[in-house]
Amino acid sequence: MATLNEWIAGSRPRTLPVAVAPVAAGTGAAYALGDGNPAHALLALLVSLLLQIGVNFANDYSDGIRGTDDARVGPVRLVGQGLATPASVKSAAFACFAAAAVCGLALVALSGTWWLLVAGALAIVAAWKYTGGEHPYGYMGLGEVFVFVFFGLVATLGTTYTQAGSVDLSAVAAAVGIGAIACAILVVNNLRDIPGDTVSGKRTLAVRIGDAATRKLFTGMFAVALVAVVVSAVQHPWAIIALIGLALSARSVRTVNQGATGRDLIPPLATTGVTILAYGVLFGIGLLLSS
């Protein structure tokens, strides 16, 4: 029986900045459009956090029963380390998805954006299918696509739309930048796991393109995030302060490009999580100040 601390560790709290950043940036974009709503922002944050935790438990369950986590470097794996039964971890994942669905339903009801129920349903299905089911797309090198679309575009623009009823170029730029850094987190995570994933047959994008190209891709994601800030700053000059958050990535980029492997890639992974949080919050503040 896993302890409370092990369950908390198994939820992978260090990944939660990925859920906070798009809501912060999207809310700032809504205020820039003249119609921010704190209550709607809070509901969007709950949806995002619950989906992220649900994804983490779902990945723990699916990777654990497949044996992918048997010899992996990184955070606690509840199933892989035998700390909790697969059934209990699966139940935790679906409980999070159900709670996210309830919060999402409340959000679309209050905002009148009923069509977003489709996006929410797709997000939950995609969260499970990442490593779950007979043909998980995370095992086919498509994980970054899921992260960019749902934790970048959908989370950021959905937050903006449920408050302002529209989006603009700055909102889209923020969504692209957030999505790119979220992808960078997955890229460096999968870079670390190339040896184990290769043996277990998990064909992530990192496994498919190889070590050297994965390191270049990691750097490229931050370049995309930089361009996104510049594009947004043309319309809303204060958005430029997001570059302060992006500057936190410098050490991670250097470490990755110097050839770090295994446990030496854990600090860049953690730092990239801090980077996306700072980037998203500062992007949102910048857009708010420009409103």
**Token duo for residue 266:** 């854990």
Q: Please, which pLDDT band fits residue 70 given cuts at 50, 70 and 90?
A: low
Interatomic CA distance for residues 155 and 72, integer angstroms: 29
227 neighbors 150 (Cβ within 8 angstroms) = no
Tell me what pLDDT residue 191 has.
94
Distance CA 62, CA 206 (A): 19
Q: What is this structure's pTM?
A: 0.91
Beta strand residue intervals within 56-165, DSSP E: none
Q: List, for residues 209-232, the tens digit of each pLDDT value.
A: 999 999 999 999 999 999 999 999
According to the model, what pLDDT value does residue 199 have?
Answer: 84
- Half-sphere exposure of residue 163, counting CA atoms within 13 Å on the CB side? 32
* Cα(38)–Cα(149) distance, integer angstroms: 24
Place of tokens 């119609």: 35
Instruction: Give the pLDDT score at 229.
Output: 97
Cα-based distances in Å from 290 to 27, 231, 235, 247: 13, 14, 9, 21
- State yes or no: pLDDT of 155 exceeds 60: yes
**pLDDT for residue 65:** 86
Express each pLDDT in 114-146 by its tens digit: 999 999 999 999 888 887 777 788 788 888 999
Rounded to whole angstroms, the Cα distance separating 270 from 248 reads: 11
Which of 245, 235, 237, 252 minimizes the C-alpha distance to 281? 245
Residue 12: which region, alpha, beta or left (left: phi > 0; alpha: psi -120 to 50)?
Answer: left
pLDDT category at 69 given cuts 50, 70, 90 is low
